[in-house]
Amino acid sequence: MKRAVVVAAGLAVLLSVLLAGPARAADTPPPTSCVGRQCNFWLYTHIQYGGSGYSPGADNPIPVQPPPCQWDPEGTVQPGSRALIASYSTPPAHNAPNDQYATYTQAQAMIATHSTEQGEWYFRPNQPGQSAALQAECAGYPRWFFAVPGEPLPGGTLAPVSLAELATGTLRIPSAGTMILSPKNGPTYANLPTFVRVTFNRAYQIGPDGAPYVTDNAAVQGEAATVWVIAEPLQLSTDDTSAQKFLTCGYLGSLEMELHPAQVASTGANGTADCGVTFDQPGTWRVTATLNWRTCWVPEVVYGPPPANCQPVPGADLDPVVWNRNVPVHEIQAANGD
């Protein structure tokens, strides 16, 4: 009987969901943009973001859990009431399910009294692509609903986990900056430890345990969520299969380079590193540093590092940050000492 809202995915893309927000008459800008019989809902225009890592240009791929029920706007009090009446060839019976008789008579009364009440009529269409659980949840809600400004739509609210997913999608996640080596920038020598440390290309925050992180929060209509994207310790690899790897790496590689640079600089052949590589043979070898991310969220607005009750964000599979560097390795000579 009614059309379905166009389905699309992504944050800066039209989503086929309506959250429990104010009716159109009370919004600036309006929450809907309609072309003919199709109305698209821009979720991000409703949501307030507040984290230091928020970036409207970010687009981290992550599935977003929609509200249980989809609602289509049918117009303010008079045009919406006429649309409701016109959708029936005969008036609904008194015992028709989903409050059909009550909403039909409500629309009749609004037309008869020339009501100018602020608000919007919404229609709940069938959603054949829904899971059985969501269909069952929506089945008990009215088919039509008149929402006054600020009134939630039944089954139309975004869950906090959805806000966490949206916040993750809009986080500006640091990417690779520079790989720093000791001996400084190479070349290095066979049997001489090469320490490795990396930098990011943009700002980040540091947690109590030293973990770099970025954070974002999202809130709408009384629901909120804060999400953190947190670095895991750096991992090293090299294409020299005979090389000895030292893998006690911090989040950004060698802590010794940061804390004891003079000691690192004086490390001789056959010494050890906390995070680095000792090449056994001359050549030009590639060193790869990889940093993976983990996510967590809580259903409230929090400023600062992640709390203990933080849970992983469902479906967040973020790309790692990868640094690559070709390192020239010379053969050690007797004149170089031990």
Mean pLDDT of all residues in 39-53? 64
73-112 tens-digit pLDDT: 899 999 999 999 999 999 999 999 999 999 999 999 999 9
- Across the chain, mean pLDDT equals 82
For residues 218 and 237, give the distance between their C-alpha atoms in angstroms, rounded to a whole number. Answer: 38
Tell me which of 324 and 66 has the higher pLDDT.
Answer: 324
pLDDT for res 185 = 65
pLDDT at 9 over 60: no
- pLDDT for 255 beyond 70: yes
The residue-averaged pLDDT of 151-156 equals: 80
Question: What is the model's pLDDT at position 158?
Answer: 78
Q: Is the pLDDT of residue 20 over 90?
A: no
For the chain, the structural domain boundaries read: 24-46+68-156, 176-336
Reply yes or no on whether the pLDDT at 35 is more than 70: no
Name which of 27-31, 270-274, 278-282 the model is least confident about: 27-31
Name the more confident of 193 and 127: 193
* Residue-level pLDDT at 15: 37
Task: Give CATH for domain 176-336.
Answer: 2.60.40.1080
Is the model more confident about 259 or about 189?
Answer: 259
> Which pLDDT score is estimated for 25?
30
Q: Is the dihedral angle over the CA atoms 15, 20, 23, 26 positive or is it negative?
A: negative
Whether 180 contacts 255, CB under 8 Å: no
Q: Average pLDDT for residues 241-265, to the nearest whole number?
A: 94
Q: What is the predicted pLDDT for the residue at 7?
A: 25
Quick: pLDDT tens for 301-332: 999 999 999 999 998 989 999 999 999 999 86
Percent of the chain at pLDDT > 90 equals: 59
Higher-confidence residue of 89 and 154: namely 89
**Of 175 and 50, more confident:** 175
Residue type, 9: A
